[in-house]
Structure formats: structure tokens, C-alpha cells
Amino acid sequence: MGQLTQPALVSNRSEAATQTMQRARLSRTLGILARHLLLIVFCLLFIVPFVWMVISSFKTNAQMFSVPIQWLPDQWHVENYQNALNYPGFPFLRYLANSFFYSGGVMLGTVFSCTLVGYGFARMRFPGREILFAATLATLMVPGIVTFIPTFVLFKSLNMLGTYLPLILPSFFGNAFFIFMLRQFFRNLPGELADAAKVDGAGEFRIFWQIMLPLARPAIMVMMVFSFLWTWQEFFGPLVYLSDKNQYPISLGLFAFQAQRTTDWSLTMAAATISMIPLVVIFFFTQRSFIEGIRLTGIKG
């Protein structure tokens, strides 16, 4: 009797295992769908204001504030861009050039200082290294507004007000966040490469320049993109240090334009869209290296 029921028991167990696997597979599928749906919702929440800004740049003021909302204009007013670029007293192309100069200078200074300091903390041994690194990280907890007044007084005593030097020069003295990121990245690079180079007679700087720096390209790309984006949208620093209107970056130029043309929202939207184009282009051409750098920095951190 037992031998007769054994195939039935095996069949029941097989069916139960199959049902369990199907339920687990269905649960995983539903979980993936829920996560993707949540990501899509958040993506739409972030992208809708940007899309609305671009579409509004082709509208008239009446269409922008129409009730109910008119999502697409009856007629696309491309001339808004030409009017914004050629508006009297607001040289937006100069503002864009100033922003490239400002952001590019800060990016170069950040790369120069943070790579050297991060490599020194990661690969070189010297007395007080850990204390200095802890002090560097401690500066992350100090609000920037606390050090702003002493910094302003320093640059005023050096007669640098009204120039870009107070905005660019500090980047050549390092950024604690990027120093920490690069230090973690350099620490996880293979030490055998440096040892082999030392056997061949390479000095520390040659090891840094020819071996370690190319390997850290993903992390450096992340640092470059972040520093450029953060500087591009910087507002408070240029507002305090710059006095000549022709020196304004695009962030300050947009504020001055909107303050004097509060009723001309279509031109304001067109100018804001123009200011976003360089950021979109930069991310489009660097997204692969940027995402790779984020992934590797997260793993190696």
C-alpha cells in the first residue's frame, strides 16, 4: 500500500514545489514592477518642471497663465529666444561665457588640488596623516556661511574684490568631499602596480601621474561633472564678490533679468532654457563615464 501511494506523494510534493516557485517568481516580478513604477513616478515629478519651462519658453504671457492650463501653445513663438538673447542691457551670451570661465576654472582647480591631496592621504605615509585627514573631514561639518565673512575680509585685504579670483582661487586649496572620495578610490587601487614602478626606478610623482591618475579616471570624471554643475548654478558667491554687470555668470544674469522684467515670463523661460542647454549637453556626452564613476566609487568606497 505504501509503495502505491509513494508516486502520489512525490507528485504532490513536486506540485507544491512548483507552486512555491511560481509564487516566488510572481512576487519578484511584482516587486520589480513596483520599483520601476515608483522610479517612473519620481522621474516624472522631477522632469515635469523642466518640460514645462521649455514649453513655456515658446508661449506668450497670456498662454502661460491661461485657465485651464494650456499645455501646448497655439503658435510656437521661436522669436522668444532671439528676443531674450538680444535684449538691451542683458548680454546673455557674455553671461554664458562668464559661467564657462567660472565653472571651468573651479573644475580645474578642484581636479588639481583634490587629486594630489587624495593621493597623498591614500598612498603616502607621513607623520600625522590620519590627524590631518580627520581635520579635513571635520571641515565638512562647518557651514560655509560661518567661514564666509573671514574669507571675504581676506580677499578684501588682498584687493581681489570685483574679480573672479575670490571665486576660483579657493578651489585650488581642495574640497573635503572630493578629497575623501578620491582617497577612498586611490586606496583600493592595486598596490602592486606602484611597487613594480618603484622597482623600475619611478618616483612618487611619476607613479601618481602615469599609473594612478589614469586608473582614477572614472572618479575624476564624477568630480569634474559635480564641480562644474555646482559652480554653474552658484549664486551667492558671484552676488557678493562681483560688482560689474558684465562679469555676471548666467545664474546672476537671470536673476537681474527677471528682477527688471517681472512681467515678461516667456523671455525669462527662454533665457533659463538657454542656460540649461550646456548642462544637458555636458551630461549627454559624459553620462557613460559619469555613471561608471558613480558605480565604481560606490563599490570601492
The three-state DSSP-derived secondary structure of 42-77 is HHHHHHHHHHHHHHHCCCCHHHHCCCCCCCCCCCCC
Give me the pLDDT at residue 8, please.
Answer: 59
Cβ proximity of 251 and 233 under 8 Å: yes
- The Cα–Cα gap between 102 and 179 comes to 21
Q: In this predicted model, what pLDDT tens digit does every residue of 193-228 receive, in sequence order?
A: 888 888 888 888 888 888 888 888 888 988 998 999
- The Cα–Cα gap between 187 and 204 comes to 15
Cβ proximity of 272 and 253 under 8 Å: no
Give the pLDDT mean for 22-48: 87
Model confidence at 98: pLDDT above 80: yes
Give me the pLDDT at residue 13, please.
Answer: 66
Reply yes or no: is the peptide bond before residue 68 cis, omega within 30 of 0.
yes
Give me the pLDDT at residue 157, please.
Answer: 94
Give me the pLDDT at residue 294, please.
Answer: 63
Is 0.95 surpassed by the pTM of this model?
no
The CB density around residue 130, as the number of other CB atoms within 10 Å, is: 9
Give residue 135's pLDDT band: very low, low, confident or very high (50, 70, 90). Answer: very high
Q: In this predicted model, what pLDDT tens digit does every residue of 43-83 receive, in sequence order?
A: 888 888 889 899 998 988 888 888 788 888 888 888 989 88
Residue that is written with C-alpha cell 546673455 in the block? 92
Shortest CA distance to 271 belongs to which of 39, 85, 68, 24? Answer: 85
Q: In this predicted model, what pLDDT tens digit does every residue of 140-163 receive, in sequence order?
A: 888 888 888 899 999 999 999 999
- The Cα–Cα gap between 219 and 227 comes to 12
